Structure 1
Amino acid sequence: MTHDHDLVLRPTEAQTAAALAPPPGRTGGDLVVETLRSLGATTVFGLPGQHALAVFDAVRRSDLRLVGLRVENNAGFAADAYGRVTGEAAPLLLSTGPGALTALPALQEAAAASAPVLAISSQIPLAGLGGARHGYLHELRDQQASFRDVVKSVHTVRAASQIPSAIAAAWQSALTAPHGPVWVEIPEDVLRAETVLPQVTGVDATPPELAPRPELTALAAHWLTQAARPVIVAGGGVIRSDAAGKLKQLAERLDAPVVTTYGGKGAFPWAHPLSLRSWVEDRHVTDHLEDADVLLVVGSGLGELSSNYGTFAPRGRIVQIEADLGKLESNYPALGIHADARPALQALLETVGERTDPQAPKRVEETLTKVRTRIEGQDRALEQNLLTAIRKAVPDRSPTFWDMTILGYWAWAGFDARRPNTMHSAQGAGGLGYAFPAALGAAVAEPDTPVLAVSGDGGAMYGLAELATAQQYGLDVTWLIVDDGGYGILREYMTDAYGASTATELGRPDFVALAESFGVPAVRSTPDTLTADLKRCLTTPGPSVVVLPETLRMFAPTHE
């Protein structure tokens, strides 16, 4: 009797011929590249270091596209964005010690945002491993320990024959829900050594689907069908799972209002009659959620921001669909369904009954009117007008990337992301400097689509070196820098809390002149000319910088 798996394991004649006559001069670095190509990778990010040179040499001799950035952390942010935009695992090539450690903040953001990044790092030679200190350059006592608490999984290689399996296992881990960054570590001498192993072909690392248990979705469907006031909270898991269409179907079938978390921006149409938008730091929206008798939370852990700083106190039942087991019921008791958003929403669509609630859109509009009235009473017309100006300038299909800056905080709540997976920020881990290098990664992923990055002057200083990257590769990214001479949001927080701010005022360059010194066109803008300036830059191929000298203020959130 012949089983299907026997047929899969039998090599073809071409594979056998290739295995018997591998090309000469190949190294462990070639095994890395061949495995990546076999898995479907076309692009890698990173920058070389002494221990990783064999990998980069192998990339040179391959058809992989290498995008070399100037700082490892920025390379990590670029890979993060590439993974978010494409849904593919983004290879990130790093050297040992300082080079690897410099990428840690980017990997933390990728973990918080469930971005599939495949970090491959070199390591000191095998002779230096095992606990003793040998004095190798870049040596760490336990390099992988620095990453174990950040990434989703760690994979170590100690022999060339282990390379394909380790990378395949890491690739599968990165793309198994919830997506996330993974770490592969390979010693320098293993990468450099010549190998007689056959060329790597036919690697399969297809991730398994994380499907819901049917008895749980059956109960959730019953609760939602019988609910008087169901409401849906859509988080970043809806975006990562490409489930926005199914979310919309379910909301309309139930007549259930939908609020998107900051990570879930674009998961539900902004102007839909059932859309509560993203004002999760507003007490009126919190009240609306608390009034629900059944609250369906999809792809969110209801963390600090999404729970309005923990002030959300639900009175009804909660159903939580979450791919990250560690987030399931971690903040609120619920009917916890451990599943990826897409198959879970499909299961609900197949079992939920249809309900009609003509008052639901009216309740949504009443809540949004209260939000607008509150914001309008805070004298924040400038900030709202800037969001409007940006929205007018940016094509609907264009990805936007926002740094941890006041205008970015406004965008979390008030920017209309008109399509799923087009608005990204570093709000997962909250590190500075994300927007511009991430936008470069998105431009690599979608070279025919202009990309917008938004930073404050403080956050912009983290990524200035990547102006050289943008110019070198001709990446179609427009970088809006709001220049207020300091860390604006920290200045505001400290002044409110302590009556004065410390270490928030910054000397900074002439950003226009600096950009032009890299060969990147730049313009100094005003609130009145911002739309026109952005449109001109976004429709001109290649990188550009728009500098807006303005001091902005945050809206006052309400927690009580």
Structure 2
Amino acid sequence: MSGTGQSGAPGTTRHVRDEEIPNTLLSEEAVLPGGAPPVRNGGDLVVETLAALGATTVFGIPGQHALGLFDALSRSSLRFVSSRVENNSAFAADGFSRATGQVGVVFLSTGPGALTALAGLQEAYATGVPMVVVASQIPIEGLGARRRGMLHQLDDQKASAANVTKSQRLIQHASGIPSAIQDAWTEAISSPMGPVWLEIPQNVLLNPVMVPAVEDALAEPFDNPPRTELVKEAVRWLAAAERPAIIAGGGTRRGKAEADLLALAEKLRAPVICTPGGNGAFPWNHELSLQSWIEDRHTTDVLEDADVLVVVGSSLGEVTSNYFTLQPRGRIIQIDAEPRVLESNRPALGIRADAGQALAALDEALGSVLADSPRKEPDWNGQTPEQLVARTLAQVADRLDSQDLDMERKFMADIRAAVPASMQTYWDMTIAAYWAWSCWDAKSGQFHSAQGAGGLGYGYPGAIGGAVGLGERVLAVSGDGSAMYSIAELATARQHNLPVTWLIVDDGGYGILREYMVEAFGKATATELAGPDFVKLAESFGVPARRTAPDGVQAALEEAFAGEGPNVVVVEATIGLFAPTHLAD
């Protein structure tokens, strides 16, 4: 939050000429006589370092203690995208990073502004998205002095970010800014990747500096290879395995391990299933692909029957384990860059490594072993792996056939048919996304969802960040409940004329919670919502919008995709969620 006070109140700042800013906010020395441009300040060191490291874009909202940052931003080549809520700034930077592979950068104000961003940072932290967050701070003399009662003051602001960022730094001297940002950037891009937090006091940002302009900066990710003895042991297991299978989690995509995953799977002839975070890591229609039906008893049976189960970039958590019903009978090889993930849910041969480096090492070592001693043909109880996969997917289809889900399946198929193969999509926590976790063929585009932390409101601001980074149209999908979390960002999309199509599925409430409560208690409580006319609301922002029935969603989306700038498609429909087993089971 910007946190500026009422106009004319003592000590407030109106966004006016530098010479009108009170001396408490800007040193007199920072403005040369005659109104000449201000000399370089701490904020300049921030933006110069970020640009030298390769940043192109910054997301955020201006604030009183951050004025030095934004003053410097006006003198830089960095593009600034101003959100309307700080949480959405974090989501947008997250979406930008996922779409482009670049580091997302966020500028935050102090206190309420910084705290409001934390839920967005939780998603980035849980999903491993590299971000650099620069938050302002109150003047140095107020740090740790709660009794002074400064605006936005917290006892320890960076402590608030400790649960949702890899590290937190307080920079107290301008000369320390370039090195601190370079170190933070290095940490953000090193596996396990994630957001890092820096905060800089107001006067450090505003005061003139003697430090010369930053000319270059270098940040290379730390190497994170697998240990040799662990690779040898894993290969020994795999070479002897008769029924190997692979779970590809989000770490597979973050480690850019798709090619090595494909090579290893084909050497082993191992069925592969992708988690929601891993969706797209393995070719959807490959003869070894179990696709993403991770929440299904039939695919769970296959994973349980594997004699060696390779888990890449996943904790085998709630969704991946089909809500902890997965009970593997074979041995597990678990690969993850985050050591705290290893064996967090199941005993395993834990390999702490970047997924790309680990799979490359496994594939090379296995190739050498098999060249000398070919393994015997895989046998899944009399079936080849390819037969097993085809049979399992047929069983999944049969299960869905038994549940009266024709409308839902056609609705998702129509969305997939409308979306170009290369278009990136962003999904909020809504029933349509729960379907997409399992049934969405990402094709050559990328699939992004908020399953890491599971907070509402990710879809639209994430898509805004994607559109900014890619310069091309993206799709956001939300329910009416989650849409209200980010409805203000229609102004952001309109202001920057961003090519984002927003599909809002309006069922009049929190559909997921409604289903859960009815199933658990026979009734739902506090799930029904009064809501706006989303079409009229979008149009009031100057954003074209239309309403359609579920059977018209394909045509409506195709029309929206052909448009310019932002647009909205609203579908009024109640979508049911599939059960992971036959209803009679």
Map of 2:462 onto structure 1:
438
Matched, 1:385 2:379: no
CA distance in 1, matches of 2:166, 2:581: 35
**Match of 1:218?**
232
In the alignment, what sits opposite 1:367?
A: 392
TM alignment of 1:404-443, pairs within 5 A: 404-419=429-444, 422-443=446-467
2:550 partner SS: coil
What displacement does 1:159 show?
A: 0.8
Q: 1:51 aligned to 2:65?
A: yes
Counterpart for residue 327 of structure 1: 341
| TM-superposition CA deviations, 1:70-129 (whole Å, max 9, x none) | 110001000001111222211100000000000000000001111111110001110111
Note the C-alpha offset of 1:288: 0.2
Structure 2 partner of 1:98: 112
Q: Which amino acid aligns with 1:339?
A: A
Equivalence map 1:484-499=2 (5 Å): 484-499=507-522
Counterpart Cα distance in 2 of 1:256 and 1:540: 43
1:444 CA displacement: 0.6
Give the whole-Å Cα distance in 2 for the aligned partners of 1:558 and 1:163: 55
Partner of 1:531: 554
**Other-structure match for 2:570:** 547
Tell me how many residue pairs correspond in the alignment: 536
Name the residue aligned to 1:140.
154
SS at match of 2:237: helix
1:480 aligns with 2:503: yes
Residue identity matched to 2:538: A
The corresponding residue for 1:500 is: 523
Partner residue in 1 for 2:21: none
After the TM superposition, which segments of 4 or more aligned residues of structure 1 sit over 6 Å from their partners? none
- Per-residue CA distance 1:361-417 (angstroms, 9 max, x = gap): 101111111111111111111111111111111111111011111111011011111
Counting only pairs closer than 5 Å after superposition, residues 299-378 of structure 1 correspond to structure 2 as 299-353=313-367, 354=370, 355=375, 356-357=377-378, 359-378=384-403
Change (3 A) 1:55 1:499: same
Q: Secondary structure in 1 aligned to 2:421?
A: coil
1:206 maps to 2:231: no
> What amino acid sits opposite 1:540 in the alignment?
G
1:127 equivalent in alignment to 2:138: no
SS in 2 for 1:482: strand
Task: Establish whether residue 458 from structure 1 lines up as the match of residue 472 from structure 2.
Answer: no
Partners of 1:450 and 1:539 within 8 A in 2: no
Partner of 2:558, secondary structure, is helix
CA distance in 1, matches of 2:95, 2:520: 34
Contact 2:547–2:570 (Cα < 8 Å) also in 1: yes
Opposite residue 443 of structure 1, the aligned amino acid is: A
1:520 corresponding residue in structure 2: 543
Q: Name the structure 1 match of 2:310.
A: 296
Provide the residue aligned with 1:3 in structure 2.
none
Partner of 1:18: none
Q: Give the deviation of 1:469 after TM superposition.
A: 0.7
SS class of match (1:333): coil
Q: Distance in 2 between matches of 1:168 and 1:278?
A: 38
Whether the aligned pair in 1 keeps the contact of 2:146 and 2:153 (CA below 8 Å) is no
SS class of match (1:133):
helix
Q: 2:41 matched to which residue of 1?
A: 27
The TM-score normalised by the length of structure 2 is 0.90
2:277 maps to 1:253? no
The 2-side partners of 1:153 and 1:490 are apart by: 34
Does the 8 A contact of 2:316 with 2:345 survive in 1? yes
**Counterpart Cα distance in 1 of 2:490 and 2:523:** 34
Aligned equivalent of 1:396: 421
Paired residue type of 1:533: A
Contact 1:281 1:558 survives alignment (8 Å) = no
The residue type paired with residue 509 of structure 1 is P
Q: CA deviation at 1:131?
A: 4.4
Q: How far does the alpha carbon of each residue in 1:407-461 deviate from its partner, in whole angstroms, 9 at most, with x for none?
A: 11011011111136x11111110100100000000001100x3100000000001
Query: 1:69 Cα deviation (Å)?
Result: 0.8
C-alpha deviation, 1:202, in angstroms:
2.0
Give the partner amino acid of 1:372: A
Aligned AA (2:566): P
Report if aligned partners of 2:399, 2:581 keep a CA contact under 8 Å in 1.
no
What's 1:236 paired with?
250
Amino acid at match of 1:417: A
Most deviating of 356-365 and 270-279: 356-365
Aligned partners of 2:249 and 2:455: how far apart in 1? 20
Separation in 2 of the partners of 1:132 and 1:261?
46
Q: Which amino acid aligns with 2:580?
A: P
Give yes or no for contact 1:156–1:166 (8 Å, CA) kept in 2. Answer: no
For structure 1, the residue ranges without an aligned partner over 5 or more in a row are 1-22
- 1:163 paired with 2:177, answer yes
Q: Per-residue displacement from partner, 1:235-266 (whole Å, max 9, x unpaired)? A: 00011111111111111111110000111000
1:460-497: CA deviations, max 9, x gaps? 01111111111111111100000111111111111111
What SS does the corresponding residue of 1:362 show, helix, strand or coil? helix
Deviation at 1:173, TM superposition (A): 0.8
Instruction: Provide the rounded CA distance (Å) in 1 between the counterparts of 2:239 and 2:561.
Output: 46
Counterparts of 1:387 and 1:233, CA distance in 2:
24
TM-score normalized with structure 1 length: 0.94
Q: Is the 8 A contact 2:494 2:565 kept in 1?
A: yes
Supply the AA of the counterpart residue of 1:167: I
Backbone CA RMSD of aligned residues: 1.4
Distance 1:106 1:370 in 2: 38
Rate the CA distance shift 1:510–1:86 in 2: closer, same or farther, 3 A: same
Query: Aligned residue for 1:281?
Result: 295
Going from structure 1 to structure 2, the CA distance change for 1:151 and 1:381 (only over 3 Å counts) comes to same
Deviations for 1:182-236, whole angstroms, at most 9, x for unmatched residues?
Answer: 1001001100111111111221111112111111112212211221000000000
Q: 2:352 & 2:564 partners in 1: Cα distance? A: 44
For residues 525 and 132 of structure 1, the distance between their equivalents in structure 2, rounded to whole angstroms, comes to 54
Cα distance in structure 2, aligned partners of 1:264 and 1:490: 25
Hey, what's the Cα distance between the residues in 2 that align with 1:520 and 1:132?
45
Secondary structure of the corresponding residue to residue 276 of structure 1: coil
Cα distance in 1 for partners of 2:563, 2:133 equals 33
Distance 1:149 1:486 in 2: 30
Distance 1:325 1:202 in 2: 33
